[in-house]
Amino acid sequence: MLKRVHFPTSLLPYLLVAPQVIITLVFFVWPASQAVYQSFLIEDAFGISTEFVWFENFAYLASDEQYLGSFGRTIFFSVCVAVLSMSAALVLAGFADRIVRGATTYRTLLIWPYAVAPVLAGALWVFMFNPTLGIFPYILEFVGIDWNHYLNGSHAMMLVIFAAAWKQIAYNFLFYLAAMQSIPRSLIEAAAIDGAGPVRRFWDHIFPLVSPTTFFLLVINAVYAFFDTFGIIHAVTQGGPANATTILVYKVYNDGFVGLDLGGSAAQSVILMILVIAMTVVQFRYVERKVEY
Amino acid sequence: MIENRPILNMISHAVLILGVVIVALPIWITFVAATHDPVRMTQAPIPMLPGGYFWENFTQTLFGGGLSGTESAPVWRMLLNSMMMALMISFGKIAISLLSAFAIVYFKFPFRMGFFWLIFITLMLPVEVRILPTFQVIADLGMLNSYWGLSIPLIASATATFMFRQVFLTIPDEMLESARIDGAGPLRFFWDILIPLSRTNIAALFVILFIYGWNQYLWPLLITTETDMTTIVMSIKQMLEAAEQSPQWNIIMMTALLAMIPPVFVVVAMQRLFVQGLTETDK
C-alpha cells in the first residue's frame, strides 16, 4: 500500500487528495445518501407534503407486479446479451488465435464497435429493422415473418438484445484473444503430439484455461447489460411496447423523471446500488484468484 | 503454428471474415444511407450500395440546421460540445487521480486509508443509479447547461486512481531515494519522475476515458435543456423521434456517422494503447 520510503507528514497530501475527495463527497456520497433517504419517503404528487414511511416503498416494490416483471426481464435480457456476445466472441477469438498471419488485421476490424455509443448502436439497429424501410423486415417477409418491434413485444426484446450484444462482442473478443494468446504454446503442442485434434484441444485445453476470463467477462457483461444499455432501450423502444423492454435502469429513470414518483424511484436506485456493490465484490474476489491456473 | 491444416485455416479465415461482415454490417448500412437523397431513403427496400449524395448530406448535416422542421443546434456545435465534454472528463479524471494516487502511495498521513476507501466507493455508484439526487445537486449549484455540469459529476473515478496507484507501486524505491539525495521536494519528484515514468499509462487511460466521455448519454440528456449545449450522441434520439413524422434517414444516418467517427478513430489509431488501457483499468 504505502511505499517503504515516503515523504514526511505535511499539509501537502491533504491538498493532493482534496480535489478527488471533494468531488466524491459532493457528487457521489451526498447524492447516494439522498437516494437512500428519499427511498424512505412518500411525496404527494404536487411535492407539498412528504411523509417518512420506513420501508413502505420497498414493500410496495416487492409486491408490484410491474417491478417484479421488470426484474425478470432485466435478468433475461442480461443473460441473452452475455451468452450471445460472449459465445460469438469466443468462437471468433478461437479462430483468430489459430491464424498465423493477419490476426492483428482481424482484431482491428473487430474491435471498433466498442467505441460506438449504446444509443448509436440502438439507432443503427432500429434503422435496419424499421418495419417499413429496413432491410431485415424486407428479407424476413420472404420467410413469412411480419416484423414489427413497435407492436410485438418479443420482436422489440430481440432487437435490443441484438443491438446490445453486437456492441459488446468487441470487448469480449479482446479479452478472450488476450487470454488465449497467453496460454503457453508448449501445452497445446503437447496435446497435439498426444493426438488431440483442434476441436478436442479447444474444448479440453483452451476453454478450461480461459475460464477465469469467462467468469470475469460474465460479471462485466452483466454490469453492462444492467446499467450501460439505457441508451439502447431509450432510443429503440422507450421500454415498450407495453413495458416489454422496460429494464430496471430504464424504470428508475422513467418513474423518477417522467412519472415523478420520487420515493419509488429512489427505492429502485437503492436496490440497483446494492446490485452493483454485489457485482463489484464478486469481481474483486475474482481478481484475487485470477493468478491460479 | 502447431500443425499444418490448410482446410482448417481456410475455415478459420472464412469464419473470421463472416464475423467481420456481421460486425460491420450496421455501419455499412449507415454509411450507405448517408450517401443517398431523402426521396430514395423513403422507398423500401433501402439501397445496399452507396449513392452520390455524400457531400450534399455532409454539408447539410454539419452546417445546416440538421433535420428540417426541428429546432436544434447545428451539428458542428454538437460535435464541439461532445469534444469539450470528452476532453474535460478525460483530462480532469487523469489529473485528480494522479494527484490522489501520489498522495496515497507516497505520503503517510492521518486518515490515509479513510480517503482511500472514500474514493473506492465511487466504483459502486454509476451515474445511472443515482441520477435523481445528482441532478438535484447540479441544479442547486446552478450548473445545468454548462460544460462543468456535463463533466464534473463524471470525473471522480476509483478505477483511474487504482491504476495509477498500481503503477506507482511498481516504481523502485531507489528513484525516490536518489531524488531526495539530489534535493528534490515532493512536487519536483512528482513532476519530473513520476509523470514521465507513467506516460504510457496516462495515454492508455486517456483513450478509454475519451470514449467513455464522448459516449455519455443519460447524463447530458438530463442536464442540458438549451439546444446550444446538446451533445451529438444525445441528438440522435431527438432525430429518431422526429423521424417518425418526417423520415430523413439520410441526415439522421449522416449525423450518426459523424457521432461515431471520433471515438472509432481514436480506438483504431491508438489500438495498442486502447488494448492496454482496457485491460489495465478493468482488472
Question: Which CATH number do you get for residue B211?
Answer: 1.10.3720.10
Position A84 scores a pLDDT of 93
Whole-complex ipTM = 0.84
B169 has a chain A CB within 8 A of its CB: yes
pLDDT in tens, A191-240: 888 888 888 888 888 888 888 888 888 888 888 888 888 888 888 888 77
pLDDT digits (tens, 9 = 90+) for A17-73: 888 888 888 888 888 888 888 778 776 656 666 666 677 777 777 777 888 888 888
> Are B137 and A26 within 8 A, CB to CB?
yes
Nearest by CB to residue B275, choosing from A174, A192, A269, is A174
- The alpha carbons of chain A give a radius of gyration, in whole angstroms, of 24
- Residue partners of A176: CB distance under 8 A and separation at least 6: A89, A90, A93, A94, A210, A213, A217
- Residue A4: what pLDDT? 65
pLDDT digits (tens, 9 = 90+) for B207-237: 888 998 998 888 888 888 887 888 888 888 8
Interface list for A 48-87 with B (CB within 8 A)? none
- Provide the residue range defining the domain that includes B235: 72-281
Per-domain residue ranges of chain A:
66-179+210-289
Q: What is the pLDDT of residue B83?
A: 92
Instruction: Locate the chain A residue with the closest alpha carbon to B29.
Output: A128
> In the CATH scheme, what is the code of domain A66-179+210-289?
1.10.3720.10
Best B12, B94, B221, B249 member to test A by mutation, with max A CBs in 10 Å, is B12
Looking at residues A100-120, what average pLDDT do you find?
84
Instruction: Return contacts of B31-40, CB within 8 angstroms, 24+ apart.
Output: B31/B253, B31/B257, B33/A127, B33/B249, B33/B250, B33/B252, B33/B253, B34/B58, B34/B250, B34/B253, B34/B254, B34/B256, B34/B257, B35/B250, B36/B250, B37/B250, B38/B248, B38/B249, B38/B250, B38/B251
Cβ B131–A230 below 8 Å, yes or no? no
- With respect to residue B32, please indicate whether it lies within any of the assigned structural domains: no
Contacts of B255 (CB under 8 A, 6+ apart): B61, B66, B75, B232, B235, B236, B239
Contacts of A212 (CB under 8 A, 6+ apart): A179, A286, A289, A290, A292, A293
From the list B104, B128, B132, which residue is nearest A249 (CB)? Answer: B128
Three-state DSSP at A51 gives strand
What span, in angstroms and rounded, lies between the C-alpha atoms of A23 and B158? 12
**Helix or strand (DSSP H, E) at A52:** strand A50-52
Nearest CB among B25, B130, B153 relative to A269 is that of B130
Residue B205, in any domain of the structure: yes
In which residue ranges of chain B is pLDDT below 50?
Answer: 283
Quote the CA–CA distance of B148 and B140 in Å, as a whole number: 14
pLDDT tier for residue A291 given thresholds of 50, 70 and 90: very low
Q: Is the pLDDT of residue A80 over 90?
A: yes
Question: Looking at beta carbons, which residues of chain B come within 8 Å of A118?
Answer: 215, 217
pLDDT for A102: 77
What pLDDT is attached to residue A81? Answer: 93
User: How many structural domains compose chain B?
Assistant: 1
A96: CB partners within 8 A, 6+ apart = A103, A106, A107, A173, A177, B12, B16
| pLDDT score, position A86 | 93
What whole-number percentage of chain A has pLDDT above 90? 11
The rounded distance, in Å, linking the Cα atoms of B232 and B49 is: 26
CB spacing of B102 vs A27 below 8 angstroms: no
The pLDDT, as a whole number, for residue A293 is 42
- pLDDT value for A292: 43
Confirm or reject contact between B10 and chain A (CB < 8 A).
Answer: no
* A287 pLDDT more than 60: no
* E strand or H helix that includes residue A42: strand A41-43
- Flag whether pLDDT at A118 surpasses 60: yes
B125 at interface of A, judged by CB pairs closer than 8 A: yes
Contact with chain B for residue A132, Cβ under 8 A: yes
Nearest to B219 by CA among A74, A69, A223, A31: A31
What was the pLDDT predicted at A257? 77
Q: List b or e across A215-254, with b for residues whose CB sees 16 or more CB atoms inside 10 angstroms.
A: ebbbbbbbbbbbbbbbbbbbbbbbbbbebbbbbbbbbbbb
Give the residue on B whose Cα is nearest the Cα of A234. B237
Which of A:173-202 have CB within 8 Å of B? 174-175, 178, 185, 188-189, 192, 198
Reading the block at residue A89, the C-alpha cell is 466472441
